[in-house]
Structure 1
Amino acid sequence: MGTITSATLMVNGQSAQQAAEVASEYNIPVGLHFNITKGQPVCQSLQTSGCTFTDANGTMLGKMGFREALIAKKVDMKEVKLELESQLQKFLSLCGHLPHHVVGHQHVHTLDGVREVFAEVLSTHNISCTRLPVEDVNVPWLNSDRKQIFTSVVKSALEAKYLFHQNGIRSTDHFLGMTTIGFDMTEERIQSTLKAFFSPDNTINKDKSSVSCEWMVHPGFIRWDGKGGAAAIQPDGNPAARLYECKAVINESMRQFYKEEGIELISFEDL
C-alpha cells in the first residue's frame, strides 16, 4: 500500500466509482468521507425537494455557509441523518461493504448537532472508527485567520470526543494534518511532531502499550483540464499544493524515518 494506508471516498464526487475501483485494485482500505458542504446531496428526495443545507440551486452551502446555517439553527438534523444514511448506502453499492471508518469533510462530523446524528448512525451500523482532529495549532507559521479556524475545529472535536467514545467510536491517540496542509508541510515539521507524539514522555501515552497517530494528507496530481489550465484530481484545493504533499508523502527519507523510530504504518482497520 505504500505510505498511504487509509483513504476516504466522497461518494457524491464526480469520479466516485472510478476512485472505488482504483482503491479495490490496489487493496487500499477505504472509509467514507461524509460530505454535506460541497456539491449536491446523494439522497434523491433531498435533491428533488431541496433541503436546509443546500441553496436554491440544490448546491450545498460550503464550509462557512453550512456553519453559519447551523449556528442560526436552520439545518434540519433529520435531513442530515437522511443524507448520511444515503451516503453510507452509496458507499455500500460502490465498494460492496459498509466503511470501517467515517470522517467528515471539513470536519463537519464534530459540529454541535451533527455530531449527535453522526454518532447515532455510526453506532447503529457498528462502524467503530472516525477522525478526531485535536491538534496543537499554536505554531508560528499559521496566520491569525487560519489559527482561529483551526482552533474552532479543535474545540468542536474535543466536545465530540466523549460522545463518540460513549457510542463505541474510536479514534487515534494523536492527530496531525491541519497545521501541515499544502506548502506548510515540511519534513522537519512532520518528523519533529511525530517524535513528540510517540515519545514515552508524552502524557497521553502513559500506561498505553501502543500509541497511534493519524497524519491527514491531501496528495494529488496535476492534470490539464482541457481549457488551457491545470486542475487537481481532487475537486478542490490548490493543485500545486496537492502535488507538493504527494512528493512529501512518498519521500524515501520518510520511510527511513519510520524505520529508525520504530513506527509501523497501519490503517484504521488495525485500530
Structure 2
Amino acid sequence: MPKATVKLIVTGDDFGYCPRRNQGIVECFLAGAVSNVSLLVNGSAVSDAVQLAKRYSIPMGLHANLSEGSPVCPSLKETSSLLNDKGFFHGKMGIRTALAEGLLNMSEVKQELTAQVELFRELAGHLPHHMDGHQHVHVLPEIRHIFAQVLKDYGITYTRIPIEPDLPRCDWIDPPLMAFYQGVEKDSLNTVAVFRKHSIRWPDIYIGLSTMGKNMSVTNIRGAIDNATTSYLAKVGDSSTLPSSSVSPDQETRTVTIELMTHPGYPSIPPVGGCGEGPDDFSQSWERQHELETLKNTELQNHYKTQNIELCAFKDLGL
C-alpha cells in the first residue's frame, strides 16, 4: 500500500448566515481549526462575512443556495418556480419534492446560480475558489447538470461530492437523518459522471455527514480521517473507484486530499440571521457551538500535527 501525505480542507459552511455564525467561523479560522469557508451570498450577514474574510485573508468559496430564504436574482424575487407560496425557496425537503414533481424550471435554476456567482464576485472581488451546494442541492437530479455548466462557464474548478466512505457503519446517526444522508449519497454517486464530463474536480475523500452537530467528536473526526485514508489507499489500484483528482497509483508516496465539512459558530438568536426568513432550528441549535469547541480542541490539533496532516484550502490545490 502506498504511503500518503494528507492535505485536509476544513470548510466552515454557511459563512454569512448570521453575525454569531460568522464570529464562530472566524474564531475557528484564527485558531487553525478551519482552513476554508463557504459563503452564503443571500445570508443576512454576508457583508460582515466578506469584510471579515478580507481582514483575515480567509479563503472563500460559494455555498450555492436554492433551498433556504430568498433568491438574489432580481427577476426571480416575486414569481418563480423556485419559490413557495410564501415567496421563499421551497426548503431542504421542499425543493426535493418540487423537483420530483417536475415543478422546477431549470432555466430559473441557472439564472439564480449565475446571479449568485456574480454577486460573490462583486462582494469578494474574485470568483469563488470552489462552489458547493447548501443542503447538498448541487447533486440533485437535473440541477447537477445546470450546476456543472455554471462551474464550467466561470472556470470554477472545484466542488464537493458528499460521499462518505464509512457512513454505512455509523450506527450513532439517527435513522431519519441517516435516510436523508443515504439519499444525498445516492444523488452524489449519480453526479460523479456529470462533473467529470465538465472537468470539475473534488477532493479524494469527503467527510462531514457522520460528524455533524452532536455527532462531532475528536474520536469521530480522527477515526473518519484515518479510516477513510486507509480505505482510499487500499483502493488506489482500481482507477474506476477514484475521484477526478487522483494520480497514478504506482507512486510510493501520494498526496491524499480530504474535505471535512463543518458548521461551527455560536447559535443564532432570532430574529437575527437566516437568508431572508429568519434563522432555522439548525442554526439556533447548541450543536453549532459544540462543533466550534470540538474543532478547536487541542487533542484534535495535536493529532493533525503528529500524523503530518496539513490543513489547507481549495485554492491551495492548484488546477
Alpha-carbon spacing, 1:231–1:111, altered in 2? closer, same or farther (3 Å): closer
In structure 2, the partner of 1:34 is: 64
Determine if contact 1:173/1:204 at 8 Å carries over to the other structure.
no
In structure 2, the partner of 1:246 is: 292
Alpha-carbon spacing, 1:244–1:231, altered in 2? closer, same or farther (3 Å): farther
Alignment of 1:12-91 (within 5 A): 12-48=42-78, 50-91=79-120
Moved over 6 A (4+): none
Deviation track 1:100-121 (CA, whole Å, cap 9, x = no partner) reads: 1000000000011000000001
1:46 shift after superposition: 0.4
1:3 shift after superposition: 2.0
1:193 shift after superposition: 1.5
Aligned residue identity for 1:215: L
Alpha-carbon spacing, 1:180–1:55, altered in 2? closer, same or farther (3 Å): same
**Equivalents in 1 of 2:213, 2:124: separation in Å?**
29
Question: Secondary structure, in 3 states, of the residue corresponding to 1:19?
Answer: helix
Deviation track 1:126-157 (CA, whole Å, cap 9, x = no partner) reads: 00000110013221101221111100100111
In structure 2, the partner of 1:9 is: 39
In structure 2, the partner of 1:263 is: 309
2:240 paired with 1:195:
no
* Deviation larger for 191-200 or 258-267: 191-200
**Equivalents in 2 of 1:117, 1:7: separation in Å?**
23
Larger RCO, structures 1/2 (Cα 8 Å, 6+ apart): 2
Alpha-carbon spacing, 1:224–1:74, altered in 2? closer, same or farther (3 Å): closer
Aligned residue identity for 1:220: G
1:249 shift after superposition: 0.6
**Equivalents in 1 of 2:65, 2:71: separation in Å?**
8
In structure 1, the partner of 2:187 is: 156
1:161 shift after superposition: 1.0
Alpha-carbon spacing, 1:64–1:224, altered in 2? closer, same or farther (3 Å): closer
Deviation track 1:179-221 (CA, whole Å, cap 9, x = no partner) reads: 1111111111111111122238733445262101111110001
1:57 shift after superposition: 2.7
Deviation track 1:11-36 (CA, whole Å, cap 9, x = no partner) reads: 01111111111111111100001001
In structure 2, the partner of 1:178 is: 209
Alpha-carbon spacing, 1:51–1:94, altered in 2? closer, same or farther (3 Å): same
In structure 2, the partner of 1:216 is: 261
In structure 2, the partner of 1:144 is: 175
Alpha-carbon spacing, 1:72–1:36, altered in 2? closer, same or farther (3 Å): same
Alpha-carbon spacing, 1:59–1:231, altered in 2? closer, same or farther (3 Å): closer
Q: What TM-score, normalized to structure 2?
A: 0.79
Alpha-carbon spacing, 1:258–1:69, altered in 2? closer, same or farther (3 Å): same
**Equivalents in 2 of 1:243, 1:185: separation in Å?**
11
Q: What is the count of residue pairs matched by the alignment?
A: 267
In structure 2, the partner of 1:167 is: 198
Question: Secondary structure, in 3 states, of the residue corresponding to 1:210?
Answer: strand
1:263 shift after superposition: 0.7
Aligned residue identity for 1:261: Q
Alpha-carbon spacing, 1:223–1:122, altered in 2? closer, same or farther (3 Å): closer
2:119 paired with 1:119:
no
1:225 shift after superposition: 4.7
**What RMSD over aligned residues (CA atoms) do the two structures have, in Å?**
2.1
Determine if contact 1:10/1:35 at 8 Å carries over to the other structure.
yes
Alpha-carbon spacing, 1:143–1:51, altered in 2? closer, same or farther (3 Å): same
> 5+ residue gaps in structure 1?
none
